[in-house]
Structure 1
Amino acid sequence: MASYFRLSKALILLWLTYIVLTQAQSEPWSLLKAPKELALKLIRDPVTLSLASIDYGHIVHDNPFEVFEPSSISDISNLIKFSNSLAIPFTIAPRGQAHSVHGQAMADDGVVVNMTKLNGFRNGGRTVVAIVSDGTGAPYADVGAEQIWIDVLHATLERGLTPLSWTDYLFLSVGGTLSNAGISGQTFRFGPQISNVHELDVVTGKGDIVTCSAKSNSELFYGVLGGLGQFGVITRARIALGPAPTRVKWLHLLYNNFAAFSGDQEYLISFNGRSETNAADYVEGFLMLNQPPLDLSFYPESDRPRITSLVTQYGIIYIIELVKYYDNSSLEHIDEDVQLLVQGLKFVPTFMFEKDVSYEEFLNRVHSDELTLRSQGLWEVPHPWLNLFVPGSRITDFDEVLGYQYYTGGRREMPLGSPTSTDPSPRPSSSSDLQPQPGTISVLPPVIFPQRGTHDTSSRLGILAEPRTPGTTSLG
């Protein structure tokens, strides 16, 4: 009798568990009861749902129940309020360009908000930014969070202005990068993108539409910037601007010694004041491994044999990517400025290479790589990617591990296959079948973290297992 009772109790518990799980899992069907003004914008066709179940990473594939296509900010607010009105709210995930790598822009059995649909709502989709001046005369741009940075660049360049801090790839949404950090080679001077925002419009988790800044609703402001979308949906950002240069001197300095490489990076970013004219404008780094074929497209054809020989000799070559901006007013002395900048650096003698390109061409440099990879069918592939901050005091340990993996052949167990890039960032802002294909390891140079009157440095390390051109890595 006792055993029968225990069995019955177990069956009842199992039955109750089944009921609870079934109710929780079927809750998205409540979306079918959404108010008409929302229901008309909830899309369930197979193609739309399929597109919303993938991202740049191509690793996680979560299918949403529906995709929401807002035509106004109020639509997003109303969707969140409707979700909150349910016994079990559904998951909501804003999606810009879906450049996440592990499903962060997905909502399994929930609702993905297609932020790009706001393009038509904002000024007919024609004007990307409105540039004005505040009381101090400092220019800024009001930008819809759904806009992409390449369009922000074009719109500001028309006025002779530019945002100060960038990511390496510009076909990303403003809201997307500001929800992370927005780090690139300019970070050591200007901070990440989230340090260059004056004001935000945010739809909170309650569905409220709130304007926030460092002085107004500051807790929300700092929570949303770099908050990974957990504190609200960014819908507008006021971005700091400065005078736009017209051209850049773009250098690659080759090293066969990690200590010299990392030491020179730290030296270059020590000139990190916004107004320092003798400072570099961009510093990153990467590795070139002896894994043919090497990507030598940056270098003059006549120099490629000796670069190949250098890589073959040492196995791993470290490269500092260094940029100095200029315009007509500094044209006469730009070459002298560059020479002063590299004076005393410990790169391999005669292995300094330079290009002179437009400011826009440099900022949009990754797009040409994208076009090449798309033409080869290598863009829509899995991208295992990991970003880490490594203390400056331990970055040598990373190099030792990488060198051991390379020289012992252990790299075949590593889902990256290539280089490392180093780039400075000043203030804290904030993985195919995994075959060992050429990939990217990027280490952003030392970041200056003020700490009780002292300074420490940290490098951002990015590891990307990606079928890029074999043998080299670049910052992503």
Structure 2
Amino acid sequence: MGSSAHSRRNLLKGIGAGAVVVGWNAVTGTWATAEAAASPAVVPLPPLDGTLETSSAVLDEFSKDWGGFVTARPKAVLRPGSVQDVVRIVNYARANCLKVSVNGQSGTADDQESHSFWGNASVPGGISIDAKGFSKIHSITATHAVVGAGVSLHQLSAATLDRGLIVPSQTDYLRLSVGGVGSVGGFGGTVPKYGLFSDMIEEIEVVTGAGQVLTASPSVRPDLFNAVINGAGQVAVITKAKVRLMKAPQRVRMFTLSYTDLAKWQQDQEFLMRDGRFTHQGGGFSRKPDNSGWWYQIEVGYYYTPPGSPNETALLAGLHDERSALQVHDHLFRDWTFRVDPGEQAWKDGGFWDGPHPWLHLLVPASKIQTFVPYVLSELQVEQLGAGFTILSPFQTAKVTRPLFAKPNEPVAYLCDLLRMPPPGDPDIQAYLAQNRKFYEKLVSLGGKRYIIGAVPGMTPAQWQRHFGAAWPFLVASKRRYDPDGVLTPGQGFFS
């Protein structure tokens, strides 16, 4: 297709979204429309298969994230019509000292939003790439799905379940993009058995910060693959991913076990993880119904397909829970997969969805659970959870296989989440953030790590270097090689 055809398509798509821009004016630091294109300071845009939008309404959509703490307005949004559009925009950004970042803009049909918490996907003054331009499911076989990076895990699960398949490990909340989750990790209830969602990705197509379209896997360009997976978008834009699948069960029997003794709870969590009798394993802590103290809970699920059925006596043998508090529920596996959907709607109906979300995600060494959890509970007021909840779930660190996922240096660690949903108008949001920072620093002193998606204020490049530890030189070298002009994903603040 020739340049004139590209330009005509670009113009037609831009009508109704604001004035169509034709280039960047480096002198004024603004986008130029056709009327100003004659200025020698204007660098013409390359022909695009999609559109570059600059209307205030669009920029507003891409200025905020779900955390609600960072507002960073881009100067343009690329709605890519092809992988080559990303190449063109990355090279254009390099030539004009602009920054570029991908924004997942996932969610429901009515609520598209960035699900970062601290401006992770933001690109102030730069170009935001709408990942929905890559929302095609290319193929599904008995063992793998090949999907665009903008496909949500919700869309992928719906498509694979129609074929009796599922990704072995994925997030519990599914309205997140494949590329976004693959860039950070992805925790869910099957991590103890299978590893992170990012460990399910076996091949990627990317556009590097040097403007190259490359394919990478553990055997083809493994350095690039390992720099992209869990690399927070620092070296390349993911456009396509090959994701592992397994046969889905028809049903799941869920057991909620409750404990008043943290040591017994931890003993049983790690016993069950080693034993492997359950496919799903998680947990958390919550106040007892009479508010007399805290329950420590284990949530485990047995996957099965009739005529097979769970042997509950055998599954619960050898455990030390308060058996009178046991809860057992059986679900169709498809219903279980989409179990968070009703809760999301309830949060929206209650006004909790649109406010700030001071969520905290930490990785605690198993040897420090008996120290860290009581410390958190001594500081945490139950009212600070609002309509939210907690997660305290074990995983085997050896199952997390990609080098840029920073994890405690122990065989077993725990994801510790405070998923706080303050009521609308809560005046103490800054206090929550200060508490997040306090919990994080305490954990670092105990050898723990953070999971990089949460709301932890004040992270400096030196602290990010501390976070990545021995993997930091690899990240720096990969940035220099694959994003030599430093155009990609400034929002995390790893380097400045």
Q: TM-score range by the shorter chain?
A: 0.7 to 0.9
Aligned mate of 1:241, from 242, 245, 249: 245
- Which residue of structure 2 aligns with residue 222 of structure 1? 226
- Give the whole-Å Cα distance in 2 for the aligned partners of 1:92 and 1:265: 43
Q: Secondary structure at the match of 1:93?
A: strand
- Give the whole-Å Cα distance in 2 for the aligned partners of 1:83 and 1:429: 33
Aligned mate of 1:271, from 271, 275, 286: 275
Aligned mate of 1:104, from 120, 130, 151: 120
Q: Secondary structure at the match of 1:404?
A: helix
Contact 2:389 2:419 in 1 (8 A): no
Aligned mate of 2:306, from 328, 349, 352: 328
Aligned mate of 2:328, from 354, 374, 378: 354
- Which residue of structure 1 aligns with residue 8 of structure 2? none
- Give the whole-Å Cα distance in 2 for the aligned partners of 1:152 and 1:40: 24
Q: Secondary structure at the match of 1:142?
A: strand
TM-superposed deviation, 1:385: 1.9
Aligned mate of 1:281, from 270, 279, 282: 279
Matched letter for residue 198 of structure 1 = E
- Which residue of structure 2 aligns with residue 297 of structure 1? none
Q: 1:387 to 1:376 in 2, by over 3 A?
A: same
1:348-397: CA deviation from partner (whole Å, max 9, x where unpaired): 12111111111121121111110011112211110112222111011111
- Give the whole-Å Cα distance in 1 for the aligned partners of 2:27 and 2:419: 35
State, as a whole percentage, how many aligned pairs show the same letter: 28
Contact 1:288 1:317 in 2 (8 A): yes
TM-superposed deviation, 1:71: 0.7
Aligned mate of 1:205, from 197, 201, 209: 209
- Which residue of structure 2 aligns with residue 428 of structure 1? 400
1:398-457: CA deviation from partner (whole Å, max 9, x where unpaired): 122133235xxx677x68897542222232355xxxxxxxxxxxxxxxx9x898xxx621
Q: Secondary structure at the match of 1:76?
A: helix
Matched letter for residue 43 of structure 1 = E
Report matched runs for 1:53-64 at 5 Å.
53-64=63-74
Aligned mate of 1:35, from 19, 26, 45: 45
Report matched runs for 1:173-212 at 5 Å.
173-212=177-216
Report matched runs for 1:43-82 at 5 Å.
43-82=53-92
Q: 1:110 to 1:354 in 2, by over 3 A?
A: same
Report matched runs for 1:303-382 at 5 Å.
308-309=289-290, 312-313=291-292, 315-331=293-309, 334=310, 336=311, 338-382=312-356
Q: Secondary structure at the match of 1:381?
A: coil
- Give the whole-Å Cα distance in 1 for the aligned partners of 2:378 and 2:348: 33
1:298-339: CA deviation from partner (whole Å, max 9, x where unpaired): xxxxxxxxxx24xx33x11111111111112423xx1x1x33
Matched letter for residue 400 of structure 2 = P
Contact 1:226 1:429 in 2 (8 A): no
- Which residue of structure 1 aligns with residue 357 of structure 2? 383
1:14-51: CA deviation from partner (whole Å, max 9, x where unpaired): xxxxxxxxx99954548963425249721111111101
Q: Secondary structure at the match of 2:341?
A: helix
Whether 2:164 is the aligned partner of 1:150: answer: no
Report matched runs for 1:8-19 at 5 Å.
none
Q: 1:238 to 1:94 in 2, by over 3 A?
A: same
Q: Secondary structure at the match of 2:198?
A: helix
- Give the whole-Å Cα distance in 2 for the aligned partners of 1:158 and 1:232: 32
- Which residue of structure 1 aligns with residue 420 of structure 2? 465
Q: Secondary structure at the match of 2:224?
A: helix
Q: Secondary structure at the match of 1:424?
A: strand
Bigger-Rg structure (1/2): 1
Structure 1: 5+ residue runs without aligned partners? Answer: 1-22, 123-127, 134-138, 273-278, 291-307, 431-446, 470-475
Whether 2:141 is the aligned partner of 1:132: answer: yes
- Which residue of structure 2 aligns with residue 260 of structure 1? 264
Matched letter for residue 300 of structure 2 = L
- Give the whole-Å Cα distance in 1 for the aligned partners of 2:203 and 2:394: 25
Contact 1:27 1:90 in 2 (8 A): no
Contact 2:48 2:81 in 1 (8 A): no
Matched letter for residue 316 of structure 1 = W
Q: 1:468 to 1:360 in 2, by over 3 A?
A: farther
- Give the whole-Å Cα distance in 1 for the aligned partners of 2:272 and 2:50: 55
**In terms of mean alpha carbon deviation, does 53-62 or 418-427 score higher?**
418-427
Whether 2:130 is the aligned partner of 1:114: answer: yes
TM-score, length of structure 2 as denominator length: 0.71
Contact 1:129 1:155 in 2 (8 A): no
TM-superposed deviation, 1:211: 0.6
- Give the whole-Å Cα distance in 2 for the aligned partners of 1:359 and 1:61: 39
- Which residue of structure 2 aligns with residue 437 of structure 1? none
Whether 2:100 is the aligned partner of 1:92: answer: yes
Report matched runs for 1:387-466 at 5 Å.
387-405=361-379, 420-426=390-396, 427-429=399-401, 456-466=411-421
TM-superposed deviation, 1:194: 1.4
Structure 2: 5+ residue runs without aligned partners? Answer: 1-24, 34-41, 107-113, 425-453, 455-496
Q: 1:418 to 1:64 in 2, by over 3 A?
A: closer
Q: Secondary structure at the match of 2:308?
A: helix
Matched letter for residue 91 of structure 1 = K
Q: 1:170 to 1:415 in 2, by over 3 A?
A: closer
1:161-189: CA deviation from partner (whole Å, max 9, x where unpaired): 11100101011100010000011111111
- Give the whole-Å Cα distance in 1 for the aligned partners of 2:286 and 2:167: 31
- Give the whole-Å Cα distance in 2 for the aligned partners of 1:321 and 1:104: 31
- Give the whole-Å Cα distance in 2 for the aligned partners of 1:415 and 1:358: 30
Contact 1:249 1:354 in 2 (8 A): yes
Q: 1:316 to 1:419 in 2, by over 3 A?
A: farther
TM-superposed deviation, 1:207: 1.1
Q: Secondary structure at the match of 2:203?
A: strand
Contact 1:184 1:423 in 2 (8 A): no
Matched letter for residue 460 of structure 1 = L
